[in-house]
């Protein structure tokens, strides 16, 4: 996973540390100096800041004191609760924080070997498709001898302050972290995929069935080491950081630190009762101000749970910012939930395995319509199909697909301000099974994401077998930027790929080569859309008909899936043919799937008229080579779309 870790700004940790130890000088980072430029991009607003090393703040500094915990973090004088909440989630996952804080034992202060300390640390974050290793020195901003920003409960514990400094370096300065999205930090810590859930829009507070289904999803993400965050939406400026009567704070990111089904009752009786309560535990990055409703730290509801169960859950009666709620109450008060999944791509895992495909692309504006790649969303019909297009196949009858579109972030440009994300999104169109070239006319849209100016947009969708084109776009045409497109599909038990031929469509039509003069160049492009069939006859040994259709044109074949046990299949498949001999027909054949040899059920031959843009026919099936008066039982409905301009389809 880390074989291809990239050194941020070319700074190699091992080389720099060796130089420091050889020279006997503590590291001073020239790329992130101890000046106001590393703190602000709009000017100093907190007074005189003194940068101090941990040994100047305490006698016995440590990276960790008694391990790492969500309780180690306190926000400080920066509006980055989104980052601190993500750190709280990270602290609860040893396998994850050890990736963000590599070689942590080697980086720890060693009192027995003081000469081995060079004042240098390094941390790793997942940035735009790759892990980057970020080097910093240990000089931290202080006012009145106190850390200004993120700090721990223990005055001699510094992991949270150092991770925050490395993250601020990536973004250009500390102030660039003022206000942000927890989902982005969760992805940066894991390389996972964040799925936002709008609890209001999904009506989770009132829909019990949907709420129970969501709890199982949240529990699964938690049990598989995913990270989770939540918040209560603030609708006005006055609402930001407003505390509700129940103790919760609006516009504030909370880290979810545990999800459980809690058994009610005492003694052996509790183990024979089926009643379990859906519970969720959260932490306020401020380290105080907790939920005061049912199941809060000192509420009487905990008397319903045995002492051993309470100890297992880690229930404490103190204002440490961490508290339990029932999932019903959670959905009543909270409005937004973020599930950061760690997508398992290991074939050796006992858990569900996904196949991942990744594409990098760009929106680039050009005057030439055939070269323009910034056409805006589907509202801009004249330019929408000028955007980048990516094709992939779903090989299963129906498959769950996860799609994540991420734009290259503009926050890390402090001299120009934070930088505003573009409003981005994508549409998915089902296309012909043999589509090889770019779409130039609208196809069947089967799904689409929302458009939002966040770093990532995510969609989870069930897709049927077929070929699809993803069109990632900015909301408005003419906008430019880079993006990362990630597609995950379910991997079957035999470990064969489900997503096939995931690639960008770059050509508008078949290329002309040196063989074109001899072999001919297409004169006509025809789209064949086989809709359905009725009244098919014939049967296999089980008395059923399992039909499928094959479309053939000039030696190219397109085949549908098998439709089980039906005489009236809804094929709904398309083929696209670039034809050098327009006078030759398109052959459409129907077969019945059998174990030994498939049975021919009939065929039709269609001749497309280049002067007709679109035709729809209901045709009688015939035997191979027979005349028109030898019709077979059954009919076939077919739509033909023809064009003399190759780039019209």
The residues annotated with a catalytic role in the active site are: 81, 252, 284
In DSSP terms, which residues pair with 424 in a beta bridge? 452, 474
**Using CA atoms, how far apart are residues 268 and 436, in angstroms rounded to an integer?**
65
Q: Are 557 and 535 in contact (CB under 8 A)?
A: no
For residue 229, give the H/E element and its range.
strand 227-231
> Which distant-in-sequence residues (6+ apart) come within 8 Å of 360 by Cβ?
129, 482, 483, 484, 485
DSSP 542-575: TS---EEEEEEETTEEEEPPPPPS-SS----EEE
**Using CA atoms, how far apart are residues 624 and 632, in angstroms rounded to an integer?**
10
Here the tokens at position 7 are 């050194």
Long-range contacts: 591-597, Cβ < 8 Å, 24+? Answer: 591/547, 591/548, 591/549, 591/550, 592/536, 592/538, 592/539, 592/540, 592/545, 592/546, 592/547, 593/540, 593/546, 593/547, 593/548, 593/562, 594/540, 594/541, 594/546, 595/540
In a 13 Å sphere around the CA of 425, the CA atoms on its Cβ side amount to: 18
Q: Cβ-count burial of 562 within 10 angstroms (0-12 exposed, 13-18 middle, 19+ buried)?
A: middle
| Distance, CA of 196 to chain centre | 10
Q: Are strands 586-592 and 547-553 parallel, antiparallel or unpaired?
A: antiparallel
Q: Are 375 and 477 in contact (CB under 8 A)?
A: yes
Please choose, from the candidates 500, 616, 601, the residue with its C-alpha nearest in 3D space to the C-alpha of residue 548.
601
Cα dihedral 507, 408, 426, 183 sign: positive
> Which distant-in-sequence residues (6+ apart) come within 8 Å of 371 by Cβ?
none
Q: Are 570 and 511 in contact (CB under 8 A)?
A: no
**Using CA atoms, how far apart are residues 12 and 631, in angstroms rounded to an integer?**
76
Q: Are 492 and 396 in contact (CB under 8 A)?
A: yes
- The Cα angle at residue 616 between residues 637 and 378, in degrees rounded to 5: 105
Here the tokens at position 42 are 């709009």
């Amino acid at each position: 996973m880390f074989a291809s870790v990239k050194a941020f700004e070319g700074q190699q940790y091992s080389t720099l540390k060796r130089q420091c130890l050889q020279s006997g000088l503590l590291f001073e980072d020239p790329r992130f100096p101890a000046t106001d430029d590393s703190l602000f991009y709009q000017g100093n607003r907190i007074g005189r800041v003194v940068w101090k090393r941990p040994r100047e703040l305490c006698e016995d500094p440590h990276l960790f004191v008694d391990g790492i915990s969500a309780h180690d973090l306190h926000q400080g004088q920066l509006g980055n609760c989104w980052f601190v909440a993500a750190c709280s989630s990270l602290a609860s996952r040893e396998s994850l924080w050890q990736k963000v804080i590599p070689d942590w034992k080697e980086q720890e202060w060693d009192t027995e070997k003081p000469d081995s300390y060079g004042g240098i640390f390094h941390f790793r974050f997942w940035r735009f498709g790759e892990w980057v290793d970020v080097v910093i020195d240990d000089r931290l901003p202080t006012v009145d001898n106190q850390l200004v920003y993120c700090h721990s409960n223990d005055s001699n514990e510094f992991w949270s302050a150092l991770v925050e400094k490395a993250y601020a370096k990536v973004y250009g300065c500390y102030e660039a972290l003022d206000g942000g999205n927890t989902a982005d930090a969760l992805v940066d810590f894991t390389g996972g995929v964040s799925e936002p859930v709008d609890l209001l829009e999904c009506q989770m507070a009132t829909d019990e069935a949907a709420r129970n289904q969501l709890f199982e999803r949240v529990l699964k993400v938690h049990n598989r080491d995913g990270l989770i965050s939540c918040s209560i939406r603030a609708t006005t400026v006055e609402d930001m950081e407003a505390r509700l009567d129940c103790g919760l704070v609006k516009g504030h990111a909370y880290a979810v630190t545990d999800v459980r089904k809690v058994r009610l009752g005492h003694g052996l009786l509790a183990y024979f009762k089926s009643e379990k309560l859906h519970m969720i535990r959260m932490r306020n990055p401020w380290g105080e101000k907790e939920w005061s409703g049912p199941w809060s730290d000192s509420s009487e509801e905990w008397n319903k749970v045995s002492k051993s169960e309470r100890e297992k859950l880690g229930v404490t009666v103190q204002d440490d910012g961490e508290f339990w709620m029932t999932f019903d109450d959670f959905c009543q008060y909270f409005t937004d939930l973020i599930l950061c999944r760690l997508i398992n791509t290991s074939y050796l895992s006992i858990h569900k395995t996904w196949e991942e495909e990744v594409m990098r692309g760009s929106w680039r504006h050009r005057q030439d319509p055939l070269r323009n790649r910034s056409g805006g969303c589907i509202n801009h019909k004249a330019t929408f199909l000028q955007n980048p297009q990516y094709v992939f196949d779903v090989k299963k009858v129906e498959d769950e697909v996860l799609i994540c579109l991420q734009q290259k972030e503009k926050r890390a440009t402090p001299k120009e301000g934070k930088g505003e994300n573009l409003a981005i999104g994508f549409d998915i169109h089902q296309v012909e099974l043999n589509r090889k070239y770019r779409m130039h006319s609208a196809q069947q849209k089967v799904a689409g994401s929302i458009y939002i100016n966040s770093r990532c947009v995510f969609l989870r969708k069930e897709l049927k077998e077929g070929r699809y084109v993803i069109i990632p776009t900015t909301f408005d045409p003419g906008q430019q930027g880079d993006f990362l497109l990630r597609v995950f599909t379910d991997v079957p038990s035999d470990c064969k790929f489900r997503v096939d031929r995931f690639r960008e469509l770059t050509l508008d039509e078949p290329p002309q080569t040196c063989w074109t003069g001899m072999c001919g160049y297409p004169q006509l492009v025809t789209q064949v859309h086989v809709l359905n069939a009725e009244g098919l006859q014939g049967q296999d040994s089980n008395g059923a008909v399992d039909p499928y259709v094959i479309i053939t044109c000039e030696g190219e074949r397109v085949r549908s899936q098998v439709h089980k046990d039906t005489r009236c299949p809804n094929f709904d498949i398309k083929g696209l043919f670039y034809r050098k001999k327009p006078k030759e027909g398109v052959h459409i054949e129907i077969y019945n799937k059998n174990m030994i040899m498939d049975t021919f059920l009939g065929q039709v031959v269609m001749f497309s008229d280049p002067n007709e843009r679109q035709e729809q026919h209901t045709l009688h099936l015939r035997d191979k080579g027979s005349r028109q008066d030898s019709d077979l039982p059954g009919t076939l409905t077919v739509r033909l779309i023809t064009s003399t301009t190759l780039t019209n389809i």
